[in-house]
C-alpha cells in the first residue's frame, strides 16, 4: 500500500517479526497508525505487512535489517522514503536472551550477541532515526527492558544488558528533554513468546518449564501497555513501568502452583 499525503502518525517497531514487536504492530495498526516494521526475517515482515494492510487499511513499510550491524542501521535510515521521515513513536523492541549458565560456564558468543542486540542495537537505531523522531509534534521512544534488570542467578550478561537499557532510558529522558521527546522504559516479566525458545536454543521442554505454575503475560498484554503509554495527554510521560503476571513479583520471586 502506498502511503497517502494526509497527516498520519507513524510508529517504527524493531523486532516486529514475532513476539512483542508483532503484537505492537497489530495494536498500533488497529488504532490507525502507519507502521515501519523491522526485523531480520524479511519473509515474515512481508507476511505481516500483507496481513495488516488488508485488515486495517493502513500503510506499512518493511525495513529489513539487523540492528546489530551498524552500517545496515544507518543505511536504512539514509534510504527511508521521504514520506516516512517523520516518526512519532520508536519502539526499540529487538532483543533476546541466550543461555542461562553460571558466568564461568557462559558462552562468549552468546554474550556478544546479547550485548550487540540489546544494547548496541538499541543505541544504533535510536541514533540513526532520531532526526526523524525530532520532526514529530509528539515524539516518543519506547525501550523494551525487563524485570531482569534485577540480577538473578545465571542471568549475568542478559541481566547486565537489561540494566543497561534501564540506565540508557533514564539518560535519554534527561538528554532529550530539550527536544520534548518522551522516553518510556517498559520492563515485562515472564511472557510466553518465542523468547524462551530462543534462550534455550530450541529446547522446547526446558523453555516451557519457565512457565510452570504460572499464567504468564502474553505479547498482546505487553502491546496493550505500550500503546497505553503512547496514548496519554501530551504533558504526561510514563518514564518507567514494570509489569508482571499475578504470580510474579519481580525477576526473582514467583509463586507457582
* Cell 523486532 belongs to residue: 15
* Cell 518510556 belongs to residue: 184
Which pairs from 96-101 meet CB under 8 Å and 24+ separation? 96/195, 96/198, 96/199, 97/148, 97/158, 97/195, 97/198, 97/199, 98/158, 98/198, 98/199, 98/201, 99/199, 99/200, 99/201, 100/154, 100/155, 100/158, 100/199, 100/200, 101/154
Is residue 158 part of the annotated active site? The answer reads yes
Spot the catalytic one: 33, 56, 124, 158: 158
Q: How far, in Å, CA of 96 to CA of 118, rounded?
A: 7
Active-site residues, by number, are 158
Amino acid at each position: 500500500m502506498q502511503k497517502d499525503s494526509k497527516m498520519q502518525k507513524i510508529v517504527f517497531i524493531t523486532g516486529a517479526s514475532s513476539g512483542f514487536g508483532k503484537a505492537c504492530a497489530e495494536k498500533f495498526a488497529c488504532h490507525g497508525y502507519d507502521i515501519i516494521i523491522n526485523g531480520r526475517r524479511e519473509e515474515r515482515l512481508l507476511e505481516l505487512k500483507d496481513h495488516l494492510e488488508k485488515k486495517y487499511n493502513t500503510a506499512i513499510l518493511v525495513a529489513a535489517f539487523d540492528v546489530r550491524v551498524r552500517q545496515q542501521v544507518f543505511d536504512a535510515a539514509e534510504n527511508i522514503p521521504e514520506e516516512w521521515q517523520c516518526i512519532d513513536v520508536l519502539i526499540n523492541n529487538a532483543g533476546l536472551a541466550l543461555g542461562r549458565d553460571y558466568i564461568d560456564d557462559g558462552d562468549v558468543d552468546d554474550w556478544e550477541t546479547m550485548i550487540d542486540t540489546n544494547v548496541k542495537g538499541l543505541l544504533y537505531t535510536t541514533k540513526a532515526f532520531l532526526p526523524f523522531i525530532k520532526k514529530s509534534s509528539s515524539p516518543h521512544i519506547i525501550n523494551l527492558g525487563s524485570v531482569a534488570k534485577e540480577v538473578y542467578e545465571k542471568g549475568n550478561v542478559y541481566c547486565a544488558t537489561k540494566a543497561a537499557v534501564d540506565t540508557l532510558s533514564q539518560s535519554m529522558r534527561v538528554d532529550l528533554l530539550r527536544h520534548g521527546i518522551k522516553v518510556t522504559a517498559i520492563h515485562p516479566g515472564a511472557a510466553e513468546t518465542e523468547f524462551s525458545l530462543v534462550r534455550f536454543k530450541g529446547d522446547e521442554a526446558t523453555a516451557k518449564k519457565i512457565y510452570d505454575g504460572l499464567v504468564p503475560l502474553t505479547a498482546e498484554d505487553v502491546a496493550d501497555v505500550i500503546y497505553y503509554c503512547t496514548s496519554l495527554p501530551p504533558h504526561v510521560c510514563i518514564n518507567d513501568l514494570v509489569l508482571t503476571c499475578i504470580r510474579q513479583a519481580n525477576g526473582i520471586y514467583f509463586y507457582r502452583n
